[in-house]
Amino acid sequence: MTTHREPLESVLETVGETPLVRVQASPDDVPVYAKLESFNPGASIKDRLGVYLVEKHLERGDIEPGGTVIEPTAGNTGIGIALAATQMDVEAEFVVPERFSVEKQTLMRSLGATIVNTPTEEGMKRAIEVAHERAERKDNAIVPQQFASPLNAAAHEATTGPEIWDALDGEVGAVVAGCGTAGTLMGIAGYISERQPDVHVTAVEPEGSLFARTKGADVDHEEYNIEGIGTSDLGTNELFDESLVDEVRQVSDRAAQEELKRLAREEGQLVASSAGAASVAARDVADRIADGDLDVPHETVVTVFPDSSERYLSKGIYDEYEEWVDD
Ligand code: PMP
């Protein structure tokens, strides 16, 4: 572990190279390691994407300095893009469905971004439409569109995937990660499966989300409380490549919340609901490997804890289950 770091010129230099820490409740002989993405400066995995998107769009000339990046986002991507925008001479504007946490919206505004809300019932699909409508009315504006942009998975293929691979000297038997845009899972699984084709890949989503349909499950859409993962309309998730995924695991709101509370109490990890869901699924994969029910090239499971619980305190993330659930 580095104890001293060189002084840096910009906060953007602190994006990535996050710690990989064992989930202590995983079996002794099949450890689960979680990548702790709240160590990024905007406190989520999406800082990687924010920096990568703004950098690539400027490099490619899709937008000129002084232009506007308009993005539909649940919040974390907005924080990542807004952070990058402060250092790269672009404006940031976000279209956010109302249900997402107040903390995230406050942070985006504090980083200088403009926020436009859309009704929760109309889902991410409406947020995407509104982002495009606004970009059409503006000069020098771009919608990176994280749900469709190959740059999203590429950001993780360039950073998160190699960091995991190097930290474990390539000894990765299974990858388990939540899917919102699916950029995280596609990038990590893409990088690792090129080097280890037999790696087992599990996509994680809330009960009530529809990725499981890609594996033939007969599931219907229902509202859920876990933030940042899941889909109500598979048509918007252009990055999800089912051929890279061995299984889709659904986790209930209750199980995710119980696990995030356990992670705090027993392991000192202040993580949010999508990490709770990832941990439930990753421990389950590890248990199946330990029981001899799943063949993998290495007895090591990797997952991602995308952000921190501090961002959701106002939603009652540590309250009793009934109080946390939206009416
Ligand atoms: N967890 C949280 C808290 C998120 O904000 C996101 C991004 N929507 C994810 C998980 C899922 O990441 P991805 O979009 O790369 O699938």
pTM above 0.90, yes or no: yes
pLDDT the model gives residue 125: 87
Q: Does 161 contact ligand 1 (Cβ within 6 A)?
A: no
Q: Are strands 32-36 and 20-23 parallel, antiparallel or unpaired?
A: antiparallel
Distance between Cα 156 and ligand 1 center (Å)? 12
Q: How confident is the model at residue 84 (pLDDT cuts 50, 70, 90)?
A: very high
Q: Is the pLDDT of residue 153 over 60?
A: yes
CA–CA dist 71, 17 (Å, integer): 25
Ligand 1, residue 227: give the atom nearest the CA. 3
**Tokens in use for 36?**
């702790």
Q: Does 159 contact ligand 1 (Cβ within 6 A)?
A: no
- Give the angle subtended at the CA of 280 by the CAs of 182 and 314, to the nearest 5°: 80
Q: Is the pLDDT of residue 3 over 70?
A: no
C-alpha gyration radius of the chain: 19
Distance between Cα 215 and ligand 1 center (Å)? 21
The answer to whether 46 is a known catalytic residue is: yes
The answer to whether 274 is a known catalytic residue is: yes
pLDDT the model gives residue 187: 98
Please name which of 276, 201, 206 lies closest in space to residue 245, comparing C-alpha atoms.
201
Distance between Cα 45 and ligand 1 center (Å)? 7
Mutate to test the pocket of ligand 1, among 157, 229, 238, 240 (most ligand atoms within 8 A of CB): 229
**Average pLDDT for residues 178-199, to the nearest whole number?**
98
Q: In what order do the strands lie in the sheet with 32-36?
A: 20-23, 32-36, 301-305, 174-178, 200-206, 247-251
Q: Is the pLDDT of residue 110 over 60?
A: yes
pLDDT the model gives residue 98: 87
What is the percent of the chain with per-residue pLDDT over 70, rounded to a whole number?
98
Q: How confident is the model at residue 181 (pLDDT cuts 50, 70, 90)?
A: very high
The answer, yes or no, to whether ipTM is higher than 0.85 is yes
Residue ranges and CATH numbers for the domains of the chain are 11-39+159-326 (3.40.50.1100), 46-142 (3.40.50.1100)
Q: Is the pLDDT of residue 327 over 60?
A: no
Please name which of 143, 141, 123 lies closest in space to residue 131, comparing C-alpha atoms.
143
Average model confidence (pLDDT) across the chain = 95
Q: How confident is the model at residue 4 (pLDDT cuts 50, 70, 90)?
A: low
**Average pLDDT for residues 244-250, to the nearest whole number?**
98
**Tokens in use for 78?**
């907005």
